[in-house]
Each structure stands twice: as C-alpha cells, then as structure tokens.
Amino acid sequence: MSFSTFPSRARQVHLDFHTSPFIPAVGSAFDAEEFGRVIEEARVDSMTLFAKCHHGHLYYDTEHPARHPSMGEGLLEKQIEALHSRNIKCPIYLSVQCDEYAANTHPEWRAVNPDGSFVGQKPLGNDSFTWRILDMSSPYLEYLEAQTEEVMKKFAPVDGLFFDMCWDQVSVSKWAIAGMQRENLDPASPADRALYANRVTQRYMERLTAVAAKYQQDVPIWFNSRPISNASRERQFLRHIEIEALPSGQWGYSYFPIWVRYAKTLGLPMIGMTGRFHKSWADFGGLRTPASLLYDCAQALAHGGGCSVGDQLHPSGSIDRGVYDVIGQVYRHVEKCEPWCRDVVTTSEIAILLSTPVSERNGNQCFDGITKALSQLRYQFAFIDPDADWSSYAVVIVPESLIVTPELEQRLAAYMASGGKVIRDGLPGEESPFSAVYLRFDADKRGTLADTVHVFYERGNRLVPQAGDDVLARIVEPYFERGWEKFSSHAQTPNVPETSPYAAAVVRGNEALFALPVFRAYSLHGNLPCRQLVAAALQRLFPAPAVRVKGPSYVEVTVGTRGKETILHFLSFIPQKRAATQEMVEDAAAARNLEIDVKVDGPVASVKRIIDGGEIPFTEENGRVRFSLDWLEGHEMVVISGR
C-alpha cells in the first residue's frame, strides 16, 4: 500500500436520536450554546445528526406528516448552526429500511418473508433491535427519495449523508414478486430471491446518490449495514468507509481487527465506529470506562483510521455532560496522536485472501483465528480480495474457507516462482479418521511449548511428507476414535506411543502446507500449539518481518511509514469476560521491559515516545533498530526518525 487512509476529521460522534412518538416535549430542553460548548470541549470535530430515525420521524421543520409529533421548532437546524459556528462538521442521518411510521401507515410496503409473515417485529412483539422492515422494491423507495430530496433542498451544502439499515433484504411482497418476474427470476428460488434483493439495493443506492447529486456534487455518503467485504465492488458509491463495531454489542472484540485490515487496503478515508454504551446502541445510562473507549479509538488510529463514538441524545435534547467528559478524555489523547497519524501509510507484509460470503465454509472462524494468531505474533497483515494485486506482499495465506480455482492456482504458482511465499491452511487430502489428534514438535520448532505431545481438537487431513520437506510437527494418533461403544475417560482418546507417518504441517519450497484447519482451531479453542505451527512456518518463510517484540502476547503492535519516519503504535489492553455474554475493558493493562526490533530503510537519527515523551536509547545493526520500552500502559506511539 502506498496511500494514507486517515480522514480529515478523526474525532467524530454518531449521535443517535431514535425517539418514540409517545415521548412528549421532544427537543424542548435543547440549549444551542451548551450543546455546542460541551461538544467542542470534548474535542469532537464532526457529529452525525438526525434528520430521520428508525421510528420514521423527522427532526427538522417540515410539512411532512412524519414530523415528530411532540417536537416544537426544528431540532436539526439548531444543532447544525450550533456546531458549524464552532467548525464542527455535521453529516446528516436518514434511516432506510427501518421506518415505523411508514410501516404503520403503509403496511403494504413492508417486506414479506417466504412464509407470508412480515419481516421484522411481530404483532405484540417488543424485542430490542427488532423493527418493522420496509421493502425497497415497493413505493416506499419514492417516499424515501422525497425525504432525501427535502433534506438536500433544506440543508445543502451538507457535510455528508449517512443512510442506515441498508442490507440486502429478501422479500416476497407483491412488489418484489413482480420485480423478480420482470427480470426472469424465480421467486420460489432462494438464490434468485437473494440475487434480486442485491439488485434492489444497488438500485436504491444509485438512486439516493443521484438525488443528493442534484443539489451537491460528490456528497460524502455512507450506506451503513452493508458487508464491508462488498466495499470494493460498491466503490462507486463510497467516498469513505465507516466500520460500525461496538465491542460491547453484537460485534464483540473480534470483528473490528478483521475488517479494518480489509478496509485499509481500499485507499479510502476510514473511520472506526465504536460506542460509549456499556451494552449497545440506546443503552441509556450505560457508559464505558475511558480506558475501554481508548482501546477502540487507539485500534482505529493504529490501522490508519479515525474515530467515531456512538451516543444517543436524550429525547429532551439535553446534552449529557458526563458522557462527554469521558469522550473528551479519550479525544484529547486522540488529538495528541493526530499529527503522527496524518499521511502515514500502514505496513502490511502478509496478505490473507478473503473468501466470501464470509459466513460460509467456516470463514468467520478462519479469519478470527488468523487475526488472533498473527496479531499475537506481531506480524503486519491485511485481508484482500483474491483478484486483487498481491505481488507486493511477502507472504500470501490461503485460508481453508477459500475455494481455489484453477485460475487462482496459476496466480499462486506465478507468485511463488517470483519469490513469494504461501501458507495453505486446511490442505485438501485424505480425511483423518480421528476428530482429535496429537502434535509432536522437534526442539527447534516448538518455541516455548513443553516437550510433550499437544492435542489438536479438530479433524484434519493426512499429509505424508516428501523428501526435502521441513516438517513443522508430526501427527501422533489416538488408539481409536471415541464413540458410544468404545471410549476412554472423559474426553478424546489418549495417544499411542509411536509417531505416525503423517505431518501436521510442512514447509516445502516457498510454501507451508497445513494438513489441519489450524486457524479455525485457534479461533475455536485458543490452543497455543496452533499458533506455534504458524510461528514455525513464518520463521522459515519470512524470517525478517517489519517488527519483532519480546513481551506479553496481549501487546498489539502496528507499523506505519511517512517519509523517513517509521511510526509504531503499541496497545496494551486485555478484554475480560466479566458478564455472561459480554467482554469488557475496565483499565489499561501494564507491560514491562519490552524489547523491540524494527526494520528500517536507512540510518536512524532518533527514537522517541510521543504520548509519554522522551528520547529512547537505541542500537542499529543490519538494517534494523533495537530499543526497549521499560513501561507501557494503554496506548503509546513511538517514532523512529531517519537521518
């Protein structure tokens, strides 16, 4: 990559305002001066504001019947004026497929399931995050276009539009059936229904973009709730990328680290969107700790992106000063980092070929396991489309979830012929009869693992080493496969004493072959021998990575460059499962006596800490600079300046 993805505004807030029509006096306590002052003091430089919410109500002065029934003067106008006067940008939010007002006044516009029921909220239901879903092939699209046009007429030039709830919605409404039949698709076919749903989405994104363009060219528009993996194919609609990922909500802590590594390869300004909520959106009174929010924001910065924190304004319009005290603590830190984030190009030396749909063929587990293993080993990597150019990467990983076509096989062969290295995960072959086997590592392959056999909990395939192969670990099989008639003790059958003729993984020329689903197993079980197989392979294929770190594996490290500067981010946080279904961060974690070894392009003039300040002693040898951090807590940046 040779481009920076850092946005012009990196301290954003997404200010939700989904407000029931049964709540009185909406916006009555709004104080423009206090609103603007609190936001400015929190160092926010952009705030997404609501024109229309999921309830379908409008929050600006309009004759439209969907105007919120208890709102006095238009709220959006006053919010924009208060923030623009302080040089704070204000993208405008409109809900797309969630519109309770339209669904209630025009139930014929609702999306319909194949069984004839309406999509979304059931009669008498009140489930969280469940709404009545509209069908975008119905006249509702014209209704939404008219609302979008009114917003543009009233507010253009706008700082941006944020269209939410824009997934591909399958429907068998009368509108959808007629549309499928016009396009020679079979409404009874699930594949055809999905294809038509995607076509409908592409058309409404095109139409809404065209409406905005009538009043303002090149409006920054974001269609939220689309798969990030679609971004390269939907590039014509994008001016930037926002990755919604509240770790305390449905996304968890594994989602963002995967998808930021895909998004940053696309060359667009990028935002990581988290939330201040203890749980998820609309969690009034739920507030995360400053350290928790800092972790999310520091991750975004470390990968070349800006930050957005989700909040929800109280229906009265009164801003919650306590919430912005917390956001302000984090954003003052971000502001201090910004000069060292702008124009920085993030380093990626390993490319993982993305398989889509990600939910198929164990893709989610593969990518989670890859991300955890490589992050803990401090390799710099990215996820890319298989048809992208990966010639500049040192290593390409082919996950078990990817179907390797003859064309892709030819590209891999050409890449290896030119010196590239490949890791193949879950190599096809004769399936093992055992659902669990054991690994035996030689002394030079096992790293810090104990000298014993190590269980591998997933079924793999059998790989017989060839002459010249460097065997990373050998398979030791159990006495028998556990079953209802024949079993031993509580869990998997113990291993036989002798080593089998099969290998768990080998390095053969320019590629490492994993006979086992190593990354999926690491995601599912967290068993360190899985990661050690990856480490042993990469030590042989790629012995001089951008950075090496001796220290706790929870310390995350990213590398970027800007001219003669090499810029490193160090993140020291440990999410903990403190509730039945939720991980959280209360405090930053401390790490001591880290030894760091970084590849540089030339002589080094200085090594400096940015957050804590101060010069760091260093040594240089063979194109690498070595230094130590005696103390790290939370987020630190280190800048290596060339002469």
pLDDT digits (tens, 9 = 90+) for 411-460: 999 999 999 999 999 999 999 999 999 999 999 999 999 999 999 999 99
Phi, psi for residue 344 in degrees, rounded to 5: -85, 135
8 Å CB contact between 611 and 315 = no
> In what order do the strands lie in the sheet containing 454-456?
381-384, 350-353, 395-398, 421-424, 511-514, 503-508, 470-476, 437-440, 454-456
In the prediction, which pLDDT does 418 show?
96
We find that the CATH architecture of domain 350-541 is 3-Layer(aba) Sandwich (3.40)
Model confidence pLDDT, tens digit, residues 562-601:
999 999 999 999 999 989 888 999 999 999 999 999 999 9
* Structural domain boundaries in the chain: 350-541, 547-642
Q: Checking DSSP bridges between strand 350-353 and strand 270-275, what pairing results, if any?
A: unpaired
Query: Alpha-carbon distance 590 to 613, whole Å?
Result: 17
In the prediction, which pLDDT does 564 show?
96
8 Å CB contact between 254 and 260 = no
Is the CA virtual torsion 309, 315, 321, 326 positive or negative? negative
Query: Alpha-carbon distance 302 to 294, whole Å?
Result: 12
Phi, psi for residue 236 in degrees, rounded to 5: -65, -20
User: Any idea which fold 547-642 has?
Assistant: Immunoglobulin-like (2.60.40)
pTM: 0.95
Q: Which residue has the tokens 């935002």?
A: 271
HSE-up (13 A, CA, CB side) for residue 198: 10
In the prediction, which pLDDT does 1 show?
58
The low-confidence residues of the chain, meaning pLDDT below 50, are: none
* Cα–Cα distance list, 483 to 39, 79, 439, 486, 489 (Å): 62, 66, 22, 5, 12
In the prediction, which pLDDT does 361 show?
85
Give first-to-last CA distance, the chain, whole Å: 23
In the prediction, which pLDDT does 573 show?
98
Model confidence pLDDT, tens digit, residues 192-245:
999 999 999 999 999 999 999 999 999 999 999 999 999 999 999 999 999 999
